[in-house]
Structure 1
């Protein structure tokens, strides 16, 4: 690249804005279900692969184990997940999504498509494909840089 290019030329970081705006809309759409995007991602991971260890769940969500534990506490209190002792290691727990969680993930999936429809309005399929390719590469570049530290 010849000149330095920033995706925050107007001093508003576009990635953070997009993530924040998506979260605001997502949370608003899920408010009737008393669910936040962060809590929802826990459920999505567990519905995909039920019985993850708390530490593995934290790694997949790329958040601290303490944060994961707090999310699980809230979800468990509302009947969406249950903790069970890990039969291979009694010091750790495995987390299981309940039937109630599986139903909510269906609602969340519809909500994700609704948020995507709002965000992608006026953008062609080709533009979206190129954007995703570039964003995946950027994410991979950043993860590689973090791993080197």
Structure 2
């Protein structure tokens, strides 16, 4: 990691740290899952489906700030690969809930393992207390309302 102010990290903008973290994760992901049939963005959507209790196509559009057409195409790909199934929402029959299948759960388990491995690698020089502090600070940052 090359940084202009490496001798004074307080002068580095947050966005630069975020870019470096994303780049590092992307490199790790591509190295570990080089034969994967999905992009990082697609797997992020699949993970969101796994960890949201009730998810709809519109929820995914809103969360990822992408077009409905993109999400529709992606969900079709997930269905074709048998990672998800869509069910009618009992409260609004025009909406479809999106849920993972067993195959989708297995796929996300693989990704969770990659994320765990990456986190362990990038935090290997930190103490447990530092990791907890870092996660709490990051949570505060992302929890601010728009």
Structure 1 residues 88, 137: CA separation in 2 closer, same or farther (over 3 Å shift)?
A: closer
> Which residue matches 1:17?
20
Offset at 1:40?
2.0
CA distance in 1 between partners of 2:86 and 2:140 (Å): 36
Offset at 1:65?
4.8
Counterparts of 1:138-149 in structure 2, within 5 Å, are 138-140=141-143, 143-144=144-145, 146=146
The answer to whether the Cα contact below 8 Å between 1:58 and 1:64 also exists between their aligned partners in 2 is yes
> Which residue matches 1:63?
65
97-106 or 39-48, larger mean C-alpha shift? 39-48
Unaligned runs of 5+ in 2: 1-9
> Which residue matches 1:8?
13
TM-score (structure 2 length as normaliser): 0.74
TM-score (structure 1 length as normaliser): 0.72
Structure 1 residues 47, 16: CA separation in 2 closer, same or farther (over 3 Å shift)?
A: same
Offset at 1:127?
1.9
Unaligned runs of 5+ in 1: none
- SS of alignment partner, residue 98 of structure 2: strand
The answer to whether the Cα contact below 8 Å between 1:51 and 1:94 also exists between their aligned partners in 2 is yes
